[in-house]
Amino acid sequence: MCRYAMIKYKPHYACFKCRKTFKRKLLSDITGKDASYANEAKCPDCGSLMANMGKDFEAPKKGSLKEWAHIERLYSVGITFHSCGCSGPGYIPNTADKLIAYLEGVKDDYNHNLAFWRQREEPTNKSEVDRDKSLNWKYISQVPTAIRPKKGAVGKEDAINYWIKRITEVEQKLAIIK
């Protein structure tokens, strides 16, 4: 067994007020049972609630005000550094301009999906459904199964409402950071 398999990655919590981070013990470290902390973390210095930035977070230096402001901006729109510790958290924009461009790109992608669903004619028989699944699997697979009324079927109105909601969420995030 690999000696690294026993390492438990601890989440990093950030206090934007103090510009400090702390790792927090997992409940399993204390009780020996497989569980994680569900409680909020408070800064040991100022007592403010801290942000759970994830296991892959690397804090900027305390004096790097611009970098800390950007990290707080990322957190305000829901971007953190959570992953299993193996492959990292994915793309994290490192400047405000890149964050805006990233969110604008996401919004464009969502608008493209919305346009597809708005112009789509729903299939009416099994052969049309099969053809639709074959040709439009990219769009169909991006709609969560939870909003599909039947196995594999995606209603046009449900999909349109889903993409409108996602676009609104991105617009709200953009409004926060602009």
Give pLDDT tens digits for 121-138: 888 888 888 888 889 989
Q: Do residues 65 and 101 both lie within one domain?
A: no
Does 91 map to a domain?
Answer: no
The total number of structural domains in the chain stands at 2
Residue 107 CA to residue 174 CA, distance in Å, equals 10
pLDDT at site 5: 43
**Residue after which a domain boundary falls, among 45, 76, 107:** 76
Cβ distance 37 to 50 under 8 Å? no
Let me know if residue 86 belongs to a domain: no
Q: How far apart, in whole angstroms, are the C-alpha atoms of residue 124 and residue 133?
A: 13
Ranges of residues in the chain with a pLDDT under 70 are: 1-9, 25-39, 84-88, 149-152
| Residues 168 and 101 both lie in one domain | yes
How many Cβ atoms from other residues are within 10 Å of residue 6's Cβ? 7
**Per-residue pLDDT, 19:** 95
Residues 50 and 108 in one domain: no
Please indicate, yes or no, whether residues 103 and 143 belong to a single structural domain of this protein. Answer: yes
User: The tokens 């204390």 sit on which residue?
Assistant: 30
Residue 161 falls inside a structural domain: yes
CA angle in degrees (0–180, nearest 5) for 58-15-11: 50
**Domain boundaries, position 18:** 7-76
Rounded Cα gap, residues 163 and 172, in angstroms: 14
Q: Are residues 166 and 101 in the same domain?
A: yes
Q: Let me know whether 71 and 133 are in one domain.
A: no
As a dihedral over the C-alpha atoms of residue 58, residue 63, residue 64, residue 69, rounded to 10 degrees, the angle is 90
Residues 135 and 107 in one domain: yes
Measured CA to CA, the distance from residue 71 to residue 69 in angstroms comes to 6
**pLDDT the model gives residue 100:** 94
pTM of structure: 0.75
User: How far, in Å, are 16, 48, 110, 158 from residue 79 at the CA level?
Assistant: 15, 20, 18, 27
Judge if 116 and 147 occupy the same domain. Answer: yes
| In-domain check, residue 90 | no
**Does any domain span residue 141?**
yes
20 occurs within a structural domain = yes
Q: Does residue 87 lie within any of the structural domains?
A: no
CA–CA gap between residue 159 and residue 11 (Å, rounded)? 35
Assess whether 71 and 108 both reside in one domain: no
Distance from chain centroid for Cα 137: 23
